[in-house]
Amino acid sequence: MTCRLRNATLLILLALPLTAGDTPWLTYGNTLSGWRYTPLTQITSTNIAHLAPAWIFQTNTAAKSESTPLVRDGIMYVTGDSNNAWALDLKTGKQLWHYFRKPPKPLDLCCGEVNRGFAISGDRLFKVNIEDTLLALDRLTGKVLWETELGDYRKGYSGTAAPIVIKNLVITGTAGAEFGIRGFIDAYDIATGKRVWRFHTIPAADEPGGATWAPSTEHRVGGSTWITGTYDPELNTLYWGTGNPGPDMNGDVRPGDNLYTCSLVALDADTGKLKWHYQYTPHDVHDWDAISDPVLVDVTIAGQLRKAVVQANRNGHYYGLDRVTGKLLFAKPYTEVSWARGIGADGRPILVPDQEPSEEGTKSCPGLGGGHNWQATAYSPRTGLHYFSSTDGCQLFYRTEQQFVEGHWFQLSTVDGIPGDSNRHSVVAVDTATGQTKWRRELQAHPSGGMLATASDLVFYGDSAGNLVALDARTGEPVWHFQTGASINAPPIAYEFEGKQYIAVAAGGVIVTFASR
């Protein structure tokens, strides 16, 4: 681990109170409701032509960053791949400190040594390391204040999610369902790093939900929790999506619904006790994790104001649930779906037969990555629309037989493309009160980086070709773009510093921040 203080003078200056005209970005989704919405309005469709880079920070790492930077008190805090993190001067982009710890080897992972960002509380920052530890860092020096193990990386556990802070707790999940882990959501005391509660996403056989795994199931595994949840302070309820059961594509070895995989769980934030759950994909065999942002919105349905939680699920349906009770409000497909004829009034999918993976390969839609995967989504209260990326297409799903070996891949097969049937990409805007798609912007490049909505009715996203793009939030028409030079896999953020609005995004291994010139 290295932790470098580059400039003591800079540190002192940055510690000084800042003037009015600063609007921070304080958590993964900006609000605990997961909106990724900024109230800032300086950048509009009429002046956006003047938007240009203000500074660029080179991390000098070969990264495909998925990180959401945080901004507060004149400093940007951003994590990188492979256990890197930086604090940057908002005025100049210069480095304040750098944290690094070399990941252990060998380290077999499904999806790279990625990290999705910090949480912040007072003078403490919180992040996970890829070997599945949780750390508290001092925000002005980058020094480690405490560190605790979440899961054993030698058994397949890994850490990629941005934590969140609720009251005196820092809460996070784990990755590793492809390696036969038992998923969980954990809460730790922000001062001491002591664990306060743990919710296992896979119940034991004698616990509620345990009977949804047939007694013949030898290994009750999966249910990782690798994307940050959301929180309703009035209900004191935490909402967190869970991943696939293990093995991914051979369901014969785990008959039953396999709770609480591919579900949304609502937990008491103080105790971690389950309030309710909703399983989007019972007995999943297509790796359709339910980890997409659970966004908290209040909507009017049939003249009644409902507290809802909405999610663009990987299985191709857009869901609205009552976030008090967990009851289904609506579910509508937003992309091509072959596995279900719809979602019944009882909340269960109406299955199409013969969609299970096979030795010869079974065509199913959407593909393994789903209609919408993990990429951050955005919601605008001005439009009532939820914006997210969609990949439309099908794949062949294969299955195999294999004994479980602790810490090894336990996916039990894979997918392949269908010749002549290439995927199509789009940005979708869905009405959160009905689940109806209001507009769809079809794209050549994958909108791989997630969304940001602004109060000036713009939606920003980054794409796989390296463009940071702004769309009109009401029509989906592009109004601006900038070529950053690297595939963008991270969501953009907005902040105000010294009275001026900025847009920032991690593109590959650089951080670019934009302002009007």
Partner 1 sequence: MRRLLLVLCFAQLLSAQSADVDVGKGNFRLYCAPCHGIHAQGGRGPDLTQTTADLAHVISEGVPGTEMGAYSSQFDDAMIARIVSYIRSTARGASGPVAGDPEHGRALFVGTANCAGCHAAGGVGPSLARVGRQRSPAYLREKLLHPSTEITPGYETLIVTLKDGSNVRGIRRGLDDFSAQLIGLDRRFYSFRRNEVASIEKDSHSLMPDQKLTEPEITDLLAYLSTLRGDAK
Torsion over CA: 372, 377, 378, 379 (sign): positive
- Give me the least distance between CB of 165 and partner 1, in Å please: 35
In whole angstroms, the minimum distance from the beta carbon of 372 to partner 1 comes to 19
Q: How far is the CB of 421 from partner 1 (least distance, A)?
A: 10
Tell me, by CB under 8 A, how many residues bind partner 1. Answer: 31
Asked if 409 interacts with partner 1 (CB under 8 A), we say: yes
Alpha carbon distance 380, 37 (integer Å): 6
Report the residue from 217, 338, 414, 434 that binds partner 1 according to the rule CB under 8 A: 414
CA separation for the pair 461, 454 (Å, rounded): 12
Which residue in 41, 47, 400, 475 binds partner 1 (CB under 8 A)? Answer: 400
Per DSSP, what are the bridge partners of residue 501? 496
398 lies in the site for partner 1, by CB under 8 A: yes
CB of 424 to partner 1, least distance (A): 11
Question: Minimum Å distance from CB 53 to partner 1?
Answer: 17
The interface mask with partner 1, positions 415-454, x = CB under 8 A, is -x--xx----------------------xxx---------
412 is a contact residue toward partner 1 (CB under 8 A): yes
Q: CB of 284 within 8 A of CB of 209? A: no
State residue 251 phi and psi, 5-degree precision.
-85, -5
Site for partner 1 in 74-103 (CB under 8 A): none
- Dihedral of alpha carbons 250, 252, 253, 256, sign: positive
Q: How are beta strands 385-392 and 349-351 bridged, if at all?
A: unpaired
Select from 67, 467, 489, 513 the one that contacts partner 1 (CB under 8 A).
467
Give the residue, chosen from 80, 165, 481, 509, that forms a contact with partner 1 under the rule CB under 8 A: 481
Q: What is the CA radius of gyration of the chain?
A: 22
Identified binder of partner 1 from the candidate list 9, 17, 46, 106, rule CB under 8 A: 106
Which range touches partner 1 (CB under 8 A), out of 22-30, 127-135, 376-384, 398-406? 398-406
- Angle (CA) 386-390-396 rounded to 5° is 145
Would you count residue 403 as binding partner 1 (CB under 8 A)?
yes
Strand partners, 304: 301
Rule CB under 8 A: say whether 458 interacts with partner 1: no
Q: In whole angstroms, how close is the CB of 408 to partner 1 at the nearest point?
A: 6
Tell whether omega for the bond before 106 is within 30 degrees of 0, i.e. cis. yes
Of residues 298 and 401, the one with the C-beta less far from partner 1:
401
Query: Does residue 413 interact with partner 1 by CB under 8 A?
Result: yes
User: With CB under 8 A as the contact rule, which of the stretches 47-55, 347-355, 406-414, 452-460 interacts with partner 1?
Assistant: 406-414
Q: Establish if 405 lies at the interface with partner 1 (CB under 8 A).
A: yes
Only one of the segments 221-229, 252-260, 400-408, 452-460 lies at the binding site for partner 1 (rule: CB under 8 A); that segment is: 400-408
Nearest approach, Cβ of residue 448 and partner 1 (Å) = 12
Tell me how far, at minimum, the Cβ of 423 lies from partner 1, in Å. Answer: 12
DSSP 3-state of 446: coil
Query: Shortest Cβ distance from residue 464 to partner 1 (Å)?
Result: 8
- Least separation in angstroms between residue 104's CB and partner 1 is 13
Range 99-106 contact pairs with CB under 8 angstroms and sequence separation of 24 or more: 99/1, 99/2, 99/3, 99/137, 99/142, 99/144, 100/1, 100/2, 100/3, 101/1, 101/129, 103/129, 103/130, 103/131, 104/131, 104/153
Contact range with partner 1 by CB under 8 A, out of 124-132, 229-237, 261-269, 475-483: 475-483
DSSP code string of 451-462: EEEETTSEEEEE
Site map (CB under 8 A) of partner 1, residues 482-511, x = contact: -x----------------------------
Q: Which residue of 252, 401, 477, 498 would you call a contact of partner 1, by CB under 8 A?
A: 401
Report CA 481 to chain centroid distance, whole Å. Answer: 24
**x/- site string to partner 1, residues 349 to 388, per CB under 8 A?**
------------x---------------------------
Does 469 bind partner 1 (CB under 8 A)? Our answer is yes
Active site residues: 287
Cβ atoms of residues 435 and 469 within 8 Å: no
* Residues 343, 349: Cα–Cα separation, whole Å: 4
Question: Does 411 engage in binding with partner 1 (CB under 8 A)?
Answer: yes
With respect to partner 1, which residue has the nearer C-beta, 92 or 400? 400
The DSSP output letter for 177 is G
**Residue 414 in tokens:** 């894979």
Distance CA 271, CA 256 (A): 28
- The full DSSP string for 246-269 is ESSS-GGGS-S--TTTTEEEEEET
Q: Rule CB under 8 A: is residue 407 a binding residue for partner 1?
A: no
Output the CA–CA distances (angstroms, integers) from residue 503 to 72, 83, 145, 262, 469, in the order listed. 14, 25, 31, 33, 11
Sequence-distant (6+) residues with CB within 8 A of 150 are 128, 132, 133, 134, 157, 159, 172, 174, 184, 186
Give CA–CA dist 173/151, Å, rounded.
10
Told to check if 478 binds partner 1 by CB under 8 A, we report yes
Does position 402 interact with partner 1 (CB under 8 A)? The reply is: yes
Tell me which stretch binds partner 1 (CB under 8 A): 27-35, 226-234, 464-472, 505-513.
464-472
Element (H, E) at 11: helix 8-15
Residues at the contact surface with partner 1, assessed by CB under 8 A? 105-106, 108, 361, 398, 400-403, 405, 408-414, 416, 419-420, 443-445, 463, 465-467, 469, 478, 481, 483
